[in-house]
A and B are shown apart, each in its own frame.
Chain A
Amino acid sequence: MTESSESISQVESKPRRRYLLLLIIPLLLGVAFAAMVPRPAVGLIYLRDAIHAFSSAEMIAQIKYAREQPEIRAVVLVIDSPGGTVIDTEAVYLELAKLREEKPVVTMAQGVAASGAYYLSVGTDYIFAGPSSPVGNVGVVSQLPPAPGVFEDLVSTGPYKLFGSARDSQLRRMEAIKQAFYSAVSLGRGDALQIGPETLLRGEIWLGGEAQRLGLVDELGSVSQAIEHAAEMARIANYQTINLREPAGLTPELLFPFFMETAEGAQTSYPRQPGLYLLWVPPSGGASP
């Protein structure tokens, strides 16, 4: 009796094990496939330098990486920059616009977000600033080219071949760039902007608190808050944050000699090269070249 009941039990347990196996396999497969669902990430792009050829190329590389990687669901631009060249600023601005077509981008003005750096900020979906972060400085600066002249040994095929434009033309081009900058601010801030062009285009720097009151930024906060807000916009949770610099294949930051230095080696606020700049040029503490 005992033997027969054992044999019956063995006969019944075989289909059960089979059923159990049939359930475990899809479960394991489900777990395996679930593991392939990427953990979403908020990508961090830091701008802690002036906007110049190198820093803009690095930013663009990170923006492209963020756009191509599906797990990067949102990007936070952490800014501490006085701005930089017009062409490099516009290049980054346009790349940010392309990224925003797919993923939300939030700015955190952790330090200075002046001039070209603010230009980039208004090209994002939401702007945080520190309570005392200098923000604004909307406008263009430039050094006028020399008056056209002729030289004995240096010859050219046109009056502006050497320097590119007449002094007066340079001044007028600045005005066109300023209009584009203002347009970017106006489009980016929309109804939030509480001041008109006559105030904004004075080129003033505002602290974060003032900037929020005037509608230049959306909220005062920190990098963490900016990341949370970006995640909310992307509708993700339990995300990770990734500094996109290394994944984008960039080498450690190198100091690009953008600013002029005094004879003693102290850095000034003035760029080395003549050109058109979206740049804040604060006093250099008496350090002038």
Chain B
Amino acid sequence: MRRWGLLILVGVGLLIVPIAGRGLWFYRGFYQPPDQIPLPPFSEITIPELPVQSQETSSTEPDPLDSTAANVILIDTAHSNRFDVSELDTLTRQLSSRGASVQLLDSNASFDQLGLEGRLKFVSAYVVISPFEAFAASEIEAIRQFVERDGRLLVILDPTRSNSDSELFGFSDFSDGADISIANQLLEPHDLAFSDDYLYDLVENEGNFRNVFFDTFNESPLTDGLDIVTMYAARSVFTQAGTPLILGGETVFSSITDLSGEHTVAAASPNLRALALGDLTFLQPPYDGVTDNGQLIENIAEFLIAGEREPALVDLPFVFSGPVIVVQSDDFSLQAETLSALGAIQNTLSAAGTELIFADEPAEDVDRLVLGLFEPDPALDEFLEPLEITFPSEDPDDLLRVFGFGALDPAGIGVIGVVREEGLTTLGLFAEDEEKLVSLLESMSFDLLQGCLVKGAYGLCKVGEGDGFSSNDEFEIDLDFEEGFSE
């Protein structure tokens, strides 16, 4: 019996050994899976929502401007600019509510055959957005002079416009960046420059790393009422002596360095007349209503119309803002030569979109072209006073006095001056006699005073022989260029 028991035991062992042997040959234990395989909380992850406006924008209606040259905003579309005019609707609405009008510079329009130099003569602000065609040196100089004469320059770049995307991920060219160098050529005289980067914030952003909050502002009318603004893919701007206006915090990085710092997205030139802005998207709905973007757009509109450009003769024929009525001295009647010269003036003004009209009585609300002789005339006094031109008295030794030129011998001189008061422009042309006045009119109409000595709002032209000129034809006159009258 014991033998059988032993036999069964051995048999079972023999049965198990191969199984156990093979099992142990392959398996050295049991795998212990983790207690729990953690998964992302998919259902708890929420989609970030568009933030609401952080505060009300200005509740008061802006004061409409007078209809003068100072409220025409010229937007450049002549340099292969990558934007659609409709993208500026919010800004243009703000400008319109302030009485400003928006005009486009289009190289194909017949009106723009005058070129940028011509168009800048009659605008208060010039806006350039993402240009991809270089500006001529003469255009850059014209813009510089325009800003010098209190015009406003706004240059906007947007990094999303530097790349042209045709199809899904089918970028035909990556960051060609031509807009940066073109814009920087414009901005160089104004101590502003864009960087070839974009700003991003991975920590605190508006739905995407490239949508950056900015909450640091330097004091300026452009930053009034701003607590926080949001830019939707923005370039940084540099300035040495100018004013960085809108700056990012420590979590805002520049793509070109991947470093943080006080990156600037908007900066103004030292004279606060040129503004470089690194984003276009925030101007468009729905982003124009996010945080204080609406207030910033209002501030930009105010900036564009803030220039108080005094009329200057270099702006001819764009010194007027509407129809022009001719006012002449009672001392002379218009003769054939004068009418002919006025006809030429009419053509010149017409080309600039201004109508020349004749009336018995000067209208109160239109610009004026005043024609007179160097003789006291009570009818012209109201125009002469703001022009600051004093005619010589009957004393033969008395001299003609013109603001900025001092005292002059009136012989052979034609004087032209322009002034804007209460929204109306007065352009006065004066000479010794009607023949010389005709010569002055012709000088203005045919070559826009090219042969004259022009200084700001005043010009002196040679319109005949006189003691004030040498015998040759060159315009030579010894003048004291002090401001105001020389005693």
Task: Give the interface of A toward B (CB within 8 A).
Answer: 19, 22-23, 25-27, 29-31, 33-35, 37-40, 73-74, 94, 97-98, 100-104, 125, 141, 143, 168-169, 171-176, 179-181, 183-184, 187, 197-198, 201-202, 233-239, 260, 268-274, 281, 283, 288-289
Contact = CB atoms under 8 A, between A and B. Distances in A.
Interface string B237-268: 00000000000000100000010000000000
- For the complex of A and B, the 5 pairs showing the least CB-CB separation, nearest first, are A270-B169, A183-B40, A235-B29, A34-B18, A26-B15
Nearest to A281: B169
Contacts of A25: 11
B37 interface: yes
Interface stretch (B202-210, B319-327, B356-364, B376-384): B202-210
A270 B37 contact: no
Contacts of A97: 37, 39
Interface string B5-48: 00100111111111101110111111101100111111001111
Given A26-B15, A176-B47, A237 B208 contact: no
A30 B17 contact: yes
A181 to B, nearest CB: 8
A168 B28 contact: no
A39 B11 contact: no
Interface residues of B, number: 51
A97 B18 CA distance: 36
Contacts of B111: none
A143 B29 contact: no
B339 interface: no
Contact of A187 (B14, B15, B39): B39
Contact of A236 (B17, B26, B33, B39): B26
A95 to B, nearest CB: 11
B113 interface: no
B286 interface: yes
A176 B45 contact: yes
A34 B11 contact: no
Interface in B387-430: none
Contact of A173 (B16, B38, B47): B47
A183 B10 CA distance: 58
Contacts of A174: 208
A143 B168 contact: yes
Contacts of B49: 172
Nearest to B174: A283
B31 A270 contact: no
Given A100-B37, A239-B26, A23 B11 contact: yes
Given A37-B19, A100-B34, A235-B28, 19 more contacts: A29-B15, A34-B21, A34-B22, A37-B23, A168-B207, A168-B286, A172-B47, A175-B208, A179-B45, A183-B45, A184-B40, A198-B251, A201-B209, A233-B31, A236-B26, A260-B169, A270-B170, A288-B170, A288-B172
A214 B319 CA distance: 67
A198 B202 contact: yes
Contact of A33 (B10, B19, B38, B168): B19
A208 to B, nearest CB: 22
A236 to B, nearest CB: 6
Contacts of B208: 171-172, 174-175
Contacts of A22: 7, 11
B385 interface: no
Contacts of B17: 27, 30
A179 B22 CA distance: 48
A98 B45 CA distance: 21
B481 interface: no
A184 B37 CA distance: 11
Nearest to A262: B170
B50 interface: yes
B50 A168 contact: yes
Contacts of A239: 26
B171 interface: yes
Nearest to A274: B168
Contacts of A102: 33
A115 B263 CA distance: 29
B197 to A, nearest CB: 14
A100 B34 CA distance: 8
10 contacts: A23-B14, A27-B15, A38-B26, A172-B47, A187-B40, A234-B31, A236-B28, A268-B170, A269-B169, A283-B174
Nearest to B10: A23
A73 B26 CA distance: 11
A172 B48 contact: yes
A97 B33 CA distance: 11
A274 to B, nearest CB: 5
A277 to B, nearest CB: 9
B26 A175 contact: no
Most-contacted residue by chain A among B7, B47, B172, B251 (CB, 10 A): B47
Nearest to A173: B47
Nearest to B8: A22
A141 B33 CA distance: 34
B167 interface: yes
B204 to A, nearest CB: 10
Given A97-B39, A176-B46, A236 B27 contact: yes
A40 B18 CA distance: 16
Interface string B160-196: 0000001111111010000000000000000000000
A183 B18 contact: no
B45 A30 contact: no
Given A22-B11, A37-B22, A235-B30, A273 B168 contact: yes
A271 B171 contact: no
A172 B28 CA distance: 50
Contacts of B34: 100, 125
Nearest to A203: B209
A271 to B, nearest CB: 7
B325 to A, nearest CB: 49
Contact of A235 (B7, B27, B40): B27
